[in-house]
Amino acid sequence: MSASRPAVITVDDLSVVYEVDPPVAAVKNATFSLAPGEILGLAGESGCGKTTLAYAINRLHKPPARIASGSITFHGREGDDLDLLALDEHALRAFRWSELSMVFQGAMNALNPVTTIRAQLCDVLSTHVPHLSRKERIARAGDVLERVGVSRDRLRSYPHELSGGMRQRVMIAMAMLLEPQVMIMDEPTTALDVVVQRDILREIVRLRDELDFAVIFITHDLPLLLEISDRIAIMLRGEIIEIGSADRIYREPEHEYTRQLLSSFPSLSGSRGAFIRTGTDEENADEEKEQTR
């Protein structure tokens, strides 16, 4: 998807501070926009502020976290702009899930273990779309489950009766229930095996293409982002230090930290360190000689 389309969310100069002793600046002056249908990858090492930024966008941060400055503007389907930092609790509850949803880190373990999948999906619908009948809620829940590759028969199942991959798909279905314009995914495939990861990533891309929702996809796995993202933002110590198209980030990284991230993943073919070259031709030649000794 092209990032040249009008933005659905604009984050401007956003800073988040943890009010501890001494205070910690977890996110510093983050600025970016997200276009409809775009997948924006957010990469960086653990503790760099990725999840804190996601929670701030969704207004889910709790004390001691505090948004110190900046703005978050949501651009609605009808062309209206909404200041997310100005929403009261009632308006915020109505906004979440219906316009912006989130798949949390470790989400496949977040389902209520003593409640059926049907009850948990229908609870979202009864809260946000109260005019739907019970039959309509169940039908909608089944339709969304099937969209993520899970049989509607699983509505009667409890979470412990599903595999890890199926539970993760249920969480993605829950995030899709109200057809939001933006979905934030915080490391949604980290705890899954590689084969299941690939299946779920393909589903995410397919659903994005089909429904045209935008995605902020958070992970430390930069090669994964290079494969699925339209643009990638690199975070380091709370700052977005580089942002650009996935192709540009791969071929012409501007920041030394980005080059280090890229070179930290081994190539499946060729010599070690062949994922990206950061030195001069002579330095690269010397490095290859050293590696083949």
- pLDDT tens digits for 174-226? 999 999 999 999 988 877 788 888 888 888 999 999 999 999 999 888 888 99
Query: 99 CB contacts (<8 Å, ≥6 apart)?
Result: 74, 76, 180, 181, 182
DSSP label at residue 274: T
- Strands 24-34, 182-186: parallel, antiparallel or unpaired by DSSP? unpaired
Residue 114: pLDDT band (50, 70, 90) is: very high
CA nearest to 176, candidates 135, 134, 141, 130: 141
Please state the domain extents for the chain: 9-99+181-252, 110-179
Q: Tens digits of per-residue pLDDT, 6-64?
A: 899 999 999 999 999 999 999 999 999 999 999 999 999 989 999 999 999 999 988 99
Report which of residues 269 and 259 the model is more confident about: 259
Q: Flag whether pLDDT at 79 surpasses 90.
A: no
Looking at CATH, the fold of the domain delimited by 9-99+181-252 is given as Rossmann fold (3.40.50)
CB 72 within 8 A of CB 33: no
Task: Tell whether the model's pLDDT for residue 145 goes beyond 60.
Answer: yes
